[in-house]
Amino acid sequence: MSGAVSYHAGRAAEEIVAHLYEAQGRQVAARRWRSEAGEIDLIARDGAEVIFVEVKQSRSHAEAAQKLSARQMGRIATAAALFLAEEPAGQLTPARFDVALVDGQGRVELLENAFAA
């Protein structure tokens, strides 16, 4: 996949996932949130809980899952800690890390609480 096609496929996948969270009654608080530690694709809220979502898109869910590395999970966790530092309860804010796998047909497999910080 070329860089431009990959970029647009990733953006489309993020949009699909954002709509899924909203359909579940969760508020999407941020898209492509950036910090010095890195970027978080989506940040959603479910009541007091903050949900950090990494979106991975590929031809199949299995291929998408293989794109998430331990190094990337660490970077996401560090960025999440920076986000939580701005919350009223800080690091005590209930939070979880989800991974949304999007296949070539736009089907989503949502892995809630997929990894720990």
Beta-carbon contacts of residue 85 (< 8 Å; ≥ 6 apart): 91
Q: What is the pLDDT of residue 8?
A: 74
Its pTM stands at 0.93
Residue 79 has pLDDT above 80, yes or no: yes
pLDDT digits (tens, 9 = 90+) for 101-112: 999 999 999 999
pLDDT of 16 > 80? The answer is: yes
Q: Are 73 and 117 in contact (CB under 8 A)?
A: no
Q: What is the pLDDT of residues 19-76, one digit of tens each?
A: 999 999 999 999 999 999 999 999 999 999 999 999 999 999 999 999 999 999 999 9
> How far is it, in rounded angstroms, from Cα 31 to Cα 44?
9
Higher per-residue confidence, 96 vs 4: 96
